[in-house]
Structure 1
């Protein structure tokens, strides 16, 4: 019990897919691992469909970021109001994360580098250089990038770099 607790940990509420989601994400991201798994015991909040012995929480880490996946029942759903940004250094990296995270997800939710995975979690798969491009003091450059970005589903780095350079 000497492990230092992270100051802020992201908690993801699933209906009953917490363990599946944690395993899925740790297979996609390098430097990832599954931590402690807790199970519902006899003493629990009366939640429809969750029985004793069912996974309650799964602690997991993706690229140094700690998460907890909770099987909390169907009361709450994910929305695009919260998303995870994956900063990518290359088009190959964008393609990899886009393919892995969008598999089985909502194709209608794919816009401007955003996608929704098969669990309903929203992700932004973007070049690490995008914030710099969008905040360039040369408004012509940043506006060209934004215009191109708004036309894309999955981001094309070459195209963004081309319009950025003019």
Structure 2
């Protein structure tokens, strides 16, 4: 089993458009196969499936994709690209133009949250943010 578990994203007739959109944003991405019902694609080497399932179900923030970024430039890039035409929220969360939820977070956040003295200040800082600001987290 090369990829035993991968997400299936349910779209209302926009599976191919969405897969092309995501592949244009993430490096090392491609469409593997497609038919009128299903598109199999990879983002950064991770497998996904997009299904043209109809209007019955919608996306929810209860399921989101986390994009860990090494630099502020990466955060800015993914925030702008994925958020275009969508909706921005708090603490690095956004819904893209298709309603899929993403968390654009700095990789260093795990380390900062692991420091018991710094963690409360970091949380207080990022609760005021929409898009994460790495320098503001480091300064907290």
Which TM class, normalised by the smaller chain length? over 0.9
- Give the aligned partner of residue 50 of structure 1: none
Structure 1 gap segments, 5+ residues each: 39-54
Match of 1:71 among 52, 60, 76: 52
- Post-superposition Cα deviations, 1:65-121, rounded to whole Å, max 9, x if no partner, equal 1000000000000000000000001000000000000000024xx110000000000
Q: Does 1:101 align with 2:101?
A: no
- Give the aligned partner of residue 126 of structure 2: 149
- Give the aligned partner of residue 96 of structure 2: 117
2:16 and 2:95 map into 1 onto residues whose CA distance is: 18
**Pairwise CA distance, 1:64:** 1.4
- Give the aligned partner of residue 18 of structure 1: 15
TM-score with structure 2 length normalisation? 0.97
Q: Does 1:131 align with 2:110?
A: yes
Match of 1:57 among 38, 56, 59: 38
Match of 1:33 among 25, 30, 35: 30
RMSD: 0.9
- Tell me how many residue pairs correspond in the alignment: 140
**Pairwise CA distance, 1:135:** 2.4
- Give the aligned partner of residue 6 of structure 1: 3
Structure 2 gap segments, 5+ residues each: none
